[in-house]
Amino acid sequence: MALFMNGLTRRHLLAAMATACAIAPLPGQAAAPPLRIGIIGSGKVGSTLGGLWVKAGYQVMFSARTLGNAQDLAKSLGPLASAGTPRQAVDFGDVVLLAVPYYAIPTLGPQLNPGLKGKILLDATNPFAFRDGAIAATAARDGAGATTQRYFPDARVVRGFNSLDMSAIRAQAHRPPPLMAVPIAGDDPTAVKTVVTLAQAAGLDPVVTGNLASSLQYQPGHKGFELQDSAAALKAALHIQ
């Protein structure tokens, strides 16, 4: 066998192989994606989605009104999970998941928007009239996507994961094909593409419905809300080609 390959000496080749082995994941392990995720809220939505992303190899920082709750959750998920304040989660994340009651948005907007400049804000919230008061009426009229964007004007808002019950996601994520579909909408194509990747990592089948305004189709009170079915069925229900 020749001791040279494309100009590399045997020593250089062995060094390159050693480097590749150091970078490559161990058998059965996925390489950790470089994307980092900050989560605002550590309830059912934050813990379910964050847990799926940690299992997929992402670094996730959880935050909550009480830091201890976020710390307990992070500890239960292992070394890829951490805890911090909402502002720390915003600073940490390349993508920030908004997983709070909708009534909290007017308060969180002024606090967190400056740190979200240019970042993806994945809005998994839902407005409910019985709980959220006046802002729920605004979101019902204007669409939750447009309303959230109004409070976070510097962020690239993408609506997603709000239409499915978290118990269904926990039970159905990574099921045999056809995977359960999740609708996604946003005005920034690059941001939408990133969220599509996160949906796939969570074991779901992403369906892009269009721009942010199109997310009205799957907020409470509309036919795409809580539709637990395949991508084909979701597209048929929402008349997506």
Give pLDDT tens digits for 57-90: 999 999 998 999 999 999 999 999 999 999 999 9
Q: For 33-66, how does the pLDDT look when each residue is reduced to its tens digit (9 = 90+)? A: 589 999 999 999 999 999 999 999 999 999 998 9
Domain count, the chain: 1
pTM for the predicted model, two decimal places:
0.86
Is residue 83 a part of any domain in this protein? Answer: yes
CATH number assigned to the domain comprising residue 160: 3.40.50.720
In the numeric block, which tokens belong to residue 39?
A: 């989560």
Q: Is the pLDDT of residue 228 over 90?
A: yes
**Which residues lie across from 207 on neighbouring strands?**
183
Q: Determine what percent of the chain falls in helix, strand and coil, rounding each to the nearest 5.
A: 50, 15, 35
Question: Which H helix or E strand runs over 158?
Answer: strand 156-160
Q: For 107-123, how does the pLDDT look when each residue is reduced to its tens digit (9 = 90+)? A: 999 999 999 999 999 99
Cα 46 to chain centroid distance, Å, stands at 9
Q: Which residues contact 88 (CB under 8 A, 6 or more apart)?
A: 38, 61, 63
Q: Is the pLDDT of residue 5 over 90?
A: no
Is residue 18 a part of any domain in this protein? Answer: no
Is residue 99 a part of any domain in this protein? Answer: yes
Q: Is the pLDDT of residue 225 over 60?
A: yes
Q: Is the pLDDT of residue 158 over 50?
A: yes
Is residue 22 a part of any domain in this protein? Answer: no
Is residue 8 a part of any domain in this protein? Answer: no
Which residue range forms the structural domain that includes residue 147? 33-238
Is residue 25 a part of any domain in this protein? Answer: no
Nearest to 152 by CA among 103, 107, 101: 107
Residue-level pLDDT at 1: 34
Q: Which residues contact 151 (CB under 8 A, 6 or more apart)?
A: 105, 106, 108, 109, 110, 113
Is residue 19 a part of any domain in this protein? Answer: no
Is residue 21 a part of any domain in this protein? Answer: no
Across 182-188, average pLDDT: 98
